[in-house]
Amino acid sequence: MAPSRLKKAIGRVKDQTRIGLAKVGGTTSLSDLDVAIVKATRHEEQPADERYIREIICITSYSRAYIIACINTLSRRLNKTKSWTVALKTLLLIHRLLNEGDPTYQQEIFFSTRRGTRILNLSDFRDTSRYRSWDFSVFVRTYALYLDEKLEYNIQDRRGEKTKTATIANENKEEENNEKESGAKSSHFREMKTEQIFTTLQHLQQLLERFLACRPI
Protein backbone atom coordinates (compact mmCIF):
# COMPACT_ATOMS: atom_id res chain seq x y z
CA MET A 1 0.00 0.00 0.00
CA ALA A 2 1.32 3.46 -0.94
CA PRO A 3 2.33 5.75 1.96
CA SER A 4 -0.46 8.25 1.17
CA ARG A 5 -3.11 5.53 1.12
CA LEU A 6 -1.73 4.02 4.30
CA LYS A 7 -1.88 7.41 6.00
CA LYS A 8 -5.50 7.87 4.95
CA ALA A 9 -6.40 4.40 6.18
CA ILE A 10 -4.75 5.06 9.54
CA GLY A 11 -6.58 8.39 9.76
CA ARG A 12 -9.95 6.71 9.16
CA VAL A 13 -9.19 4.13 11.85
CA LYS A 14 -8.28 6.88 14.31
CA ASP A 15 -11.50 8.77 13.54
CA GLN A 16 -13.65 5.67 13.98
CA THR A 17 -11.88 4.85 17.25
CA ARG A 18 -12.47 8.36 18.56
CA ILE A 19 -16.12 8.21 17.54
CA GLY A 20 -16.53 4.86 19.25
CA LEU A 21 -14.95 6.13 22.47
CA ALA A 22 -17.09 9.27 22.40
CA LYS A 23 -20.30 7.27 22.05
CA VAL A 24 -19.67 5.21 25.18
CA GLY A 25 -18.46 8.04 27.42
CA GLY A 26 -20.37 10.73 29.32
CA THR A 27 -23.98 11.81 29.01
CA THR A 28 -25.93 11.57 25.76
CA SER A 29 -25.52 15.26 24.93
CA LEU A 30 -21.79 15.28 25.68
CA SER A 31 -21.32 12.09 23.66
CA ASP A 32 -23.19 13.64 20.73
CA LEU A 33 -20.99 16.73 21.05
CA ASP A 34 -17.75 14.75 20.99
CA VAL A 35 -18.93 12.66 18.05
CA ALA A 36 -19.91 15.77 16.09
CA ILE A 37 -16.51 17.37 16.76
CA VAL A 38 -14.63 14.29 15.55
CA LYS A 39 -16.79 14.08 12.43
CA ALA A 40 -16.28 17.78 11.71
CA THR A 41 -12.50 17.39 11.99
CA ARG A 42 -11.89 14.06 10.21
CA HIS A 43 -8.54 13.21 8.66
CA GLU A 44 -9.94 13.16 5.13
CA GLU A 45 -8.88 16.11 2.96
CA GLN A 46 -12.38 17.41 2.34
CA PRO A 47 -14.36 20.29 3.84
CA ALA A 48 -16.25 19.48 7.01
CA ASP A 49 -19.92 18.58 6.67
CA GLU A 50 -21.98 21.66 7.57
CA ARG A 51 -24.53 19.64 9.53
CA TYR A 52 -21.94 18.66 12.14
CA ILE A 53 -20.91 22.28 12.65
CA ARG A 54 -24.56 23.29 13.07
CA GLU A 55 -25.06 20.44 15.52
CA ILE A 56 -22.11 21.62 17.63
CA ILE A 57 -23.44 25.19 17.69
CA CYS A 58 -26.90 23.89 18.66
CA ILE A 59 -25.70 21.62 21.47
CA THR A 60 -23.43 24.25 23.00
CA SER A 61 -26.24 26.81 23.04
CA TYR A 62 -27.80 25.01 26.01
CA SER A 63 -25.36 26.09 28.72
CA ARG A 64 -21.84 27.29 29.51
CA ALA A 65 -20.95 23.74 30.66
CA TYR A 66 -21.34 22.43 27.11
CA ILE A 67 -19.22 25.27 25.77
CA ILE A 68 -16.43 24.46 28.24
CA ALA A 69 -16.68 20.75 27.31
CA CYS A 70 -16.48 21.68 23.63
CA ILE A 71 -13.39 23.84 24.17
CA ASN A 72 -11.70 21.07 26.17
CA THR A 73 -12.38 18.56 23.37
CA LEU A 74 -11.07 20.95 20.71
CA SER A 75 -7.98 21.62 22.80
CA ARG A 76 -7.24 17.90 23.13
CA ARG A 77 -7.84 17.46 19.42
CA LEU A 78 -5.26 20.12 18.58
CA ASN A 79 -2.71 18.98 21.14
CA LYS A 80 -2.76 15.32 20.11
CA THR A 81 -2.98 15.50 16.33
CA LYS A 82 0.02 15.53 14.01
CA SER A 83 -2.19 15.85 10.93
CA TRP A 84 -2.41 19.24 9.25
CA THR A 85 -5.88 18.30 7.99
CA VAL A 86 -7.25 17.70 11.48
CA ALA A 87 -5.52 20.79 12.87
CA LEU A 88 -6.81 23.03 10.08
CA LYS A 89 -10.37 21.71 10.35
CA THR A 90 -10.28 22.22 14.10
CA LEU A 91 -9.12 25.82 13.67
CA LEU A 92 -11.82 26.42 11.06
CA LEU A 93 -14.38 25.03 13.50
CA ILE A 94 -13.09 27.32 16.26
CA HIS A 95 -13.33 30.27 13.85
CA ARG A 96 -16.95 29.40 13.08
CA LEU A 97 -17.80 29.04 16.75
CA LEU A 98 -16.22 32.40 17.58
CA ASN A 99 -18.22 34.08 14.81
CA GLU A 100 -21.55 32.24 15.00
CA GLY A 101 -21.61 30.50 18.38
CA ASP A 102 -22.50 31.80 21.82
CA PRO A 103 -20.49 34.88 22.88
CA THR A 104 -19.30 32.82 25.84
CA TYR A 105 -16.91 31.04 23.44
CA GLN A 106 -14.73 34.12 23.22
CA GLN A 107 -14.53 34.48 26.98
CA GLU A 108 -13.85 30.81 27.70
CA ILE A 109 -11.19 30.38 24.99
CA PHE A 110 -9.54 33.61 26.09
CA PHE A 111 -9.53 32.63 29.78
CA SER A 112 -8.45 29.05 29.09
CA THR A 113 -5.57 30.40 27.02
CA ARG A 114 -4.49 32.71 29.80
CA ARG A 115 -4.76 29.87 32.33
CA GLY A 116 -2.14 27.96 30.38
CA THR A 117 -4.24 25.77 28.08
CA ARG A 118 -2.98 27.73 25.06
CA ILE A 119 -5.58 26.25 22.76
CA LEU A 120 -4.50 28.52 19.88
CA ASN A 121 -0.76 28.22 20.49
CA LEU A 122 0.42 25.88 17.71
CA SER A 123 3.94 27.26 17.40
CA ASP A 124 5.42 23.75 17.65
CA PHE A 125 2.94 22.05 15.31
CA ARG A 126 4.57 19.87 12.62
CA ASP A 127 3.15 17.41 10.13
CA THR A 128 6.07 15.42 8.73
CA SER A 129 4.07 12.68 6.98
CA ARG A 130 4.67 14.02 3.46
CA TYR A 131 7.00 16.42 1.73
CA ARG A 132 4.26 18.99 1.07
CA SER A 133 2.94 18.79 4.65
CA TRP A 134 5.57 21.31 5.76
CA ASP A 135 3.86 24.12 3.83
CA PHE A 136 0.48 23.14 5.26
CA SER A 137 1.98 23.10 8.75
CA VAL A 138 3.23 26.66 8.26
CA PHE A 139 -0.26 27.75 7.24
CA VAL A 140 -1.81 26.06 10.29
CA ARG A 141 0.58 27.86 12.64
CA THR A 142 -0.03 31.19 10.92
CA TYR A 143 -3.80 30.74 10.95
CA ALA A 144 -3.71 29.92 14.68
CA LEU A 145 -1.75 33.14 15.31
CA TYR A 146 -4.37 35.13 13.43
CA LEU A 147 -7.23 33.60 15.45
CA ASP A 148 -5.37 34.26 18.69
CA GLU A 149 -4.79 37.90 17.71
CA LYS A 150 -8.41 38.28 16.60
CA LEU A 151 -9.63 36.85 19.91
CA GLU A 152 -7.35 39.17 21.88
CA TYR A 153 -8.60 42.20 19.96
CA ASN A 154 -12.28 41.25 20.34
CA ILE A 155 -11.95 40.73 24.09
CA GLN A 156 -10.12 44.03 24.59
CA ASP A 157 -12.66 45.82 22.39
CA ARG A 158 -15.55 44.40 24.40
CA ARG A 159 -13.92 45.47 27.65
CA GLY A 160 -13.45 48.96 26.25
CA GLU A 161 -17.09 49.13 25.20
CA LYS A 162 -18.26 48.02 28.64
CA THR A 163 -16.08 50.62 30.33
CA LYS A 164 -17.31 53.33 27.99
CA THR A 165 -20.94 52.32 28.48
CA ALA A 166 -20.53 52.34 32.27
CA THR A 167 -18.92 55.78 32.15
CA ILE A 168 -21.73 57.18 30.03
CA ALA A 169 -24.37 55.63 32.28
CA ASN A 170 -22.79 57.13 35.41
CA GLU A 171 -22.57 60.56 33.86
CA ASN A 172 -26.16 60.40 32.63
CA LYS A 173 -27.38 59.72 36.17
CA GLU A 174 -25.97 63.06 37.26
CA GLU A 175 -27.51 65.03 34.40
CA GLU A 176 -30.99 66.30 33.76
CA ASN A 177 -33.19 64.44 31.26
CA ASN A 178 -32.79 67.16 28.64
CA GLU A 179 -28.98 66.87 28.82
CA LYS A 180 -28.60 63.09 28.51
CA GLU A 181 -27.98 63.00 24.77
CA SER A 182 -25.41 65.79 24.76
CA GLY A 183 -23.72 64.30 27.81
CA ALA A 184 -23.38 60.91 26.10
CA LYS A 185 -21.91 62.46 23.00
CA SER A 186 -19.38 64.55 24.90
CA SER A 187 -18.47 61.49 26.98
CA HIS A 188 -17.89 59.52 23.81
CA PHE A 189 -15.43 62.10 22.49
CA ARG A 190 -13.70 62.39 25.84
CA GLU A 191 -13.15 58.61 25.74
CA MET A 192 -11.30 58.92 22.43
CA LYS A 193 -7.97 59.97 23.86
CA THR A 194 -4.91 60.14 21.67
CA GLU A 195 -3.19 57.30 23.51
CA GLN A 196 -6.25 55.05 23.11
CA ILE A 197 -6.49 55.85 19.42
CA PHE A 198 -2.87 54.85 18.80
CA THR A 199 -3.31 51.69 20.90
CA THR A 200 -6.36 50.68 18.87
CA LEU A 201 -4.58 51.39 15.60
CA GLN A 202 -1.63 49.30 16.73
CA HIS A 203 -3.93 46.37 17.53
CA LEU A 204 -5.69 46.69 14.19
CA GLN A 205 -2.39 46.83 12.32
CA GLN A 206 -1.19 43.70 14.11
CA LEU A 207 -4.46 41.95 13.29
CA LEU A 208 -4.21 42.99 9.64
CA GLU A 209 -0.64 41.66 9.43
CA ARG A 210 -1.74 38.31 10.90
CA PHE A 211 -4.59 38.18 8.40
CA LEU A 212 -2.38 38.95 5.39
CA ALA A 213 0.13 36.34 6.55
CA CYS A 214 -2.58 33.68 6.15
CA ARG A 215 -2.58 34.18 2.38
CA PRO A 216 -1.76 30.78 0.81
CA ILE A 217 1.55 30.66 -1.04
Domains of the chain: 14-167+192-213 (1.25.40.90)
Higher pLDDT, 217 or 76: 76
Number of residues in the chain: 217
Average pLDDT, the chain: 77
> pLDDT tens across 119-173, in order?
888 989 999 887 778 889 999 999 999 999 998 888 877 765 554 444 444 444 4
DSSP 165-194: HHHHHHHHHTS-GGGHHHHHHHHHHHH--H
C-alpha–C-alpha distance, residues 135 and 121, integer Å: 18
Give the separation between CA 133 and CA 4, rounded to whole angstroms: 12
pTM for the model stands at: 0.74
Residues 6+ away with beta carbon under 8 Å from 119: 71, 74, 75, 78, 94, 109, 112, 113
- Among positive and negative, which fits the CA dihedral 160, 162, 168, 174? negative
Phi, psi of 61 (to 5 degrees): -80, -10
